[in-house]
């Protein structure tokens, strides 16, 4: 059972990488070598255990984080295999929040790719210690040194090789371990026999130089080792391991390993390194939370006898057993049948069953202790990022915010019968995926789904059809434009209505300033400059609310307004007639007037696009990107391919995958992720505003 494993022998590990670096193939090998599987499923055959959704098998990519549990050398490893595609970045984000360590997988011929940088930054954000696995050493163009250099220059200077490969591509023969200075080959049908040899003579000098570099890097983390190193004494394997572990746990050292998951080489050594170097829940220590009653910070220790605190980080609908809630337990012990408090909703929840997940197979357990991950059955009110805790010891653990969608799509059920099914299907999918939003457009009465990219929405529509048996038709994708101001402006808004008896009166003067967005203000700031009681204090929140509602509904073309600081500085009120509603409407009028004076603009999401193409097609690729209003940022050689970087408006990228395939005979690939909001050229903005005319409802109609 979960809590019988000592916590220092537990590892909660994520496998993270750019799409196509070989994460899922690596995870398949881990499951095979740890005895969870008797045969290896291949991604290219659509048989990978962790890619169990039909959509994943068809596309050969990971869409949803899959959780599994396995054992290696008397350690329990809870593994989460995460997606590499940018459209599913929230899956990586939520995994990072609950992991203690991660293995970043790199493709040996590509080095650091755009999504690798994204997932690495997510690791930095949640302070997750990482190690690196340079995969596909057998691939044409494999270059270990290039990979290390790109990791050092683009991710962290603190990357250091623990291993070096002997040969590359077709000549890849084995791995030199710099910790014990031995050479390993992998024999047997599935590479299960790890055979140890002396280091080949031709590798000796390179290995000694690399080991010297390793010891120099890790001497920062162990004074005794540093002293021995300076005095030229022999340093033992155990001393190296101790110093590497110290550096990794402090998140100041990133060991680099190598191998080929497909060729079954190096995965066991990577498992050894995960056990040796990545932190246990004890190394991570107590986690902070907030007591909802006192609003003071409380720390929860990773102990089985501490008060319970657990974070629900993923909801999944299972067609056979119902809703599964994936939970990371941070403190205490939870047993089947326990009643817990959801401290976010204030509701009590009973734990029906506890399941250890192995991809989409399940093993029932009776209790789960601190430091472990399991799936809970029977929770009715618990959503993503809700905290479960003891009734008498409430705490709320830190949650993450899902990113705002950049693209939307209209979906319509084909029949009346499908209407209801579509609503409940979308509600379940949105519960699973915090980056999916859906709502009804009041003008067109259409249901709109909004998400992180074309592929994201394509998968959602596909799942509606397959899992929820809803036949839907889709409209053209819509870009999530924004509105903003470019200078400071002031205006006055008065709302006055006399209707026999008590009337309505509100009078507000306010100033709008351009706001540089930060994580704290998220593009909106309210600064009350009212003095002398010209507007009573009780009406100030109504002005704030009126401004927020106006920003939400937009003015130019009905798109949300961003990056505005709102400062009411004068006004007046009526003893009897003034009300919150009157001040809200007065604020709307003042805001609208000031907004139109402040040279408003329409903003569009602009994407960082990276195209990897054979040299023959570089001219065509750059020409096509320029025709899409793209700004070429530069190009570089990566192995035998050319990488073109550009910033391109999202509205111009629809259908790009198809046109790139046809222009390069299917030999080029691209990735894109959100970069920033930029001003839409005036001609295009005028067309968008004209098209949206009449969609912005005036609050004056109230």
pLDDT tens-digit series, residues 129-158: 999 999 999 998 899 999 999 999 989 999
Burial class (CB in 10 A: 0-12, 13-18, 19+), 490: middle
Instruction: Count the neighbouring beta carbons within 10 Å of the beta carbon of residue 303.
Output: 18
Supply the pLDDT for residue 40. Answer: 38
Whole-number Å distance between alpha carbons of 560 and 53: 35
Please name the residue that has the structure tokens 């540089």.
516
Helix, strand, coil shares of the chain as percentages rounded to 5? 30, 30, 35
User: Is residue 420's pLDDT more than 50?
Assistant: yes
User: How high is the mean pLDDT of the chain?
Assistant: 85
Least confident window among 281-285, 303-307, 418-422, 543-547: 418-422
Whole-number Å distance between alpha carbons of 632 and 191: 45
Residues 6+ apart with CB under 8 A from 458: none
Residues 6+ apart with CB under 8 A from 437: 405, 430, 449, 450, 451
Over residues 636-667, the pLDDT tens digits come to: 887 678 999 999 998 898 878 778 888 888 77
From first CA to last CA, the distance across the chain in angstroms is 61
DSSP line for 600-627? -EEEEEEEEEEEEEEGGGHHHHHHHHHH
Supply the pLDDT for residue 191. Answer: 76
Q: Compare 120 and 483 and report the one with higher pLDDT.
A: 483
Supply the pLDDT for residue 82. Answer: 66
Q: Is 41 helix (H, G, I), strand (E, B) or coil?
A: coil
Supply the pLDDT for residue 591. Answer: 98
User: Is residue 51's pLDDT more than 70?
Assistant: no
Helix (H) or strand (E) holding 241, with range, is: helix 237-249
Least confident window among 76-80, 189-193, 290-294, 498-502: 498-502
Contact between 23 and 41 (Cβ < 8 Å): no
Whole-number Å distance between alpha carbons of 453 and 447: 17
Least confident window among 145-149, 239-243, 405-409, 672-676: 405-409
pTM over 0.85: no
Average pLDDT, stretch 377-396? 89
What percent of the chain clears pLDDT 90, i.e. is strictly above it?
Answer: 48
What's CA 420's distance to the chain center, in Å? 31
Contact between 137 and 264 (Cβ < 8 Å): no
What's CA 492's distance to the chain center, in Å? 43
Q: Is 673 helix (H, G, I), strand (E, B) or coil?
A: strand
Whole-number Å distance between alpha carbons of 539 and 516: 27
Instruction: Count the neighbouring beta carbons within 10 Å of the beta carbon of residue 320.
Output: 6
Alpha-helical (H) ranges within 375-519 are 416-432, 454-467
Contact between 607 and 672 (Cβ < 8 Å): yes
Q: How is residue 243 written in tokens?
A: 């110093």
Least confident window among 175-184, 321-330, 582-591: 321-330
User: Is residue 555's pLDDT more than 90?
Assistant: yes
Contact between 147 and 160 (Cβ < 8 Å): no
Supply the pLDDT for residue 501. Answer: 66
Supply the pLDDT for residue 254. Answer: 96
Supply the pLDDT for residue 322. Answer: 75
- Tell me which range, 94-98, 249-253, 669-673, is most confidently predicted by mean pLDDT: 249-253
Q: Compare 626 and 262 and report the one with higher pLDDT.
A: 626
Give the closest residue to 449 by CA, choosing from 437, 460, 431. Answer: 437
Supply the pLDDT for residue 384. Answer: 81
């Amino acid at each position: 059972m979960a809590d019988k494993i000592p916590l220092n022998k537990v590892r909660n590990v994520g496998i993270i990488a750019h799409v196509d670096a070989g994460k899922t193939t690596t995870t398949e090998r881990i499951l095979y070598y740890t005895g969870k599987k008797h045969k290896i499923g291949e991604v290219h055959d659509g048989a990978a255990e962790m890619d169990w959704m039909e959509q994943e098998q068809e596309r050969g990519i990971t869409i949803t984080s899959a959780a599994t549990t396995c054992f290696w050398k008397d350690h329990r490893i809870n593994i989460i295999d995460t997606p590499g595609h940018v459209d599913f970045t929230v899956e990586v984000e939520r995994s990072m929040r609950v992991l203690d360590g991660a293995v970043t997988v790199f493709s040996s011929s590509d080095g650091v790719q755009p999504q690798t940088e994204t997932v690495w930054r997510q690791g930095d954000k949640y302070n997750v210690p990482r190690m690196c696995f340079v995969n596909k050493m057998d691939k044409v163009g494999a270059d270990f040194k290039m990979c290390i250099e790109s990791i050092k220059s683009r991710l962290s200077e603190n990357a250091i090789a623990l291993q070096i490969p002997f040969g590359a591509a077709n000549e890849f023969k084995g791995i030199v371990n710099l910790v014990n200075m031995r050479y390993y080959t992998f024999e047997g049908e599935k590479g299960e026999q790890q055979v140890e040899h002396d280091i080949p003579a031709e590798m000796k000098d390179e290995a000694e130089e690399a080991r010297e570099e390793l010891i120099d890097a890790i001497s920062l983390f162990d004074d005794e080792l540093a002293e021995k190193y300076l005095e030229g004494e022999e340093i033992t394997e155990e001393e190296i391991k101790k110093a590497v572990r110290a550096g990794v746990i402090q998140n100041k050292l990133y060991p680099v390993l190598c191998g080929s998951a497909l060729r079954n080489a190096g995965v066991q050594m990577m498992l050894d390194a995960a056990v040796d170097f990545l932190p246990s829940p004890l190394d991570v220590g107590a986690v902070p939370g907030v007591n909802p009653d006192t609003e003071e910070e409380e720390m929860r220790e990773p102990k089985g006898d501490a008060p319970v605190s657990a974070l629900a980080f993923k909801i999944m609908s299972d067609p056979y057993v119902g809703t599964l809630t994936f939970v990371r337990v941070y403190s205490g012990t939870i047993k089947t049948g326990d009643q817990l408090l959801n401290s976010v909703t204030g509701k009590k929840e009973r734990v029906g069953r506890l399941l250890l997940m192995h991809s989409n197979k399940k093993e029932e357990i009776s209790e789960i202790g601190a430091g472990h991950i399991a799936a809970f059955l029977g929770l009715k009110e618990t959503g993503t990022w809700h905290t479960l805790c003891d009734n008498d010891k409430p705490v709320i653990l830190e949650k993450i915010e899902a990113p705002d969608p950049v693209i939307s799509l209209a979906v319509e059920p084909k029949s009346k019968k499908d209407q209801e099914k579509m609503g409940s299907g979308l509600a379940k999918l949105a519960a699973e995926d915090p980056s999916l939003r859906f709502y009804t457009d009041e003008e067109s009465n259409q249901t709109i789904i909004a998400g992180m990219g074309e592929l994201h929405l394509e998968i959602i529509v596909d799942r509606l059809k397959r899992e929820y048996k809803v036949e839907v038709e889709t409209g053209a994708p819509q870009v999530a434009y924004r509105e903003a101001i470019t200078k400071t402006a002031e205006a006055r808004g008065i709302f006055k209505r006399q209707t026999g008896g008590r009337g309505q009166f509100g009078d507000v003067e306010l100033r709008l300033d351009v706001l540089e967005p930060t994580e704290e203000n998220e593009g909106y700031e309210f600064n009350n400059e009212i003095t002398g009681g010209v507007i009573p204090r009780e009406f100030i929140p109504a002005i704030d609310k009126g401004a927020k509602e106006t920003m939400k509904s937009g003015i130019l073309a009905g798109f949300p307004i961003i990056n505005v600081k709102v400062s009411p500085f004068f006004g007046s009120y009526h003893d009897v007639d003034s009300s919150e509603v009157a001040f809200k409407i007065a604020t709307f009028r003042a805001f609208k007037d000031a907004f139109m004076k402040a040279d408003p603009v329409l903003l569009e999401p602009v994407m960082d696009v990276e195209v990897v193409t054979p040299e023959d097609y570089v001219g065509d690729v750059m020409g096509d990107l320029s025709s899409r209003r793209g700004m070429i940022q530069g190009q570089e050689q990566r192995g035998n391919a050319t990488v073109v970087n550009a910033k391109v408006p999202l509205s111009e990228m629809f259908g790009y995958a198809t046109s790139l395939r046809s222009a390069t005979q299917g030999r080029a690939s691209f990735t894109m992720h959100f970069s920033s909001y930029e001003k839409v050229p005036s001609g295009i903005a005028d067309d968008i505003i004209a098209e949206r005319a009449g969609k912005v409802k005036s609050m004056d109609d109230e």
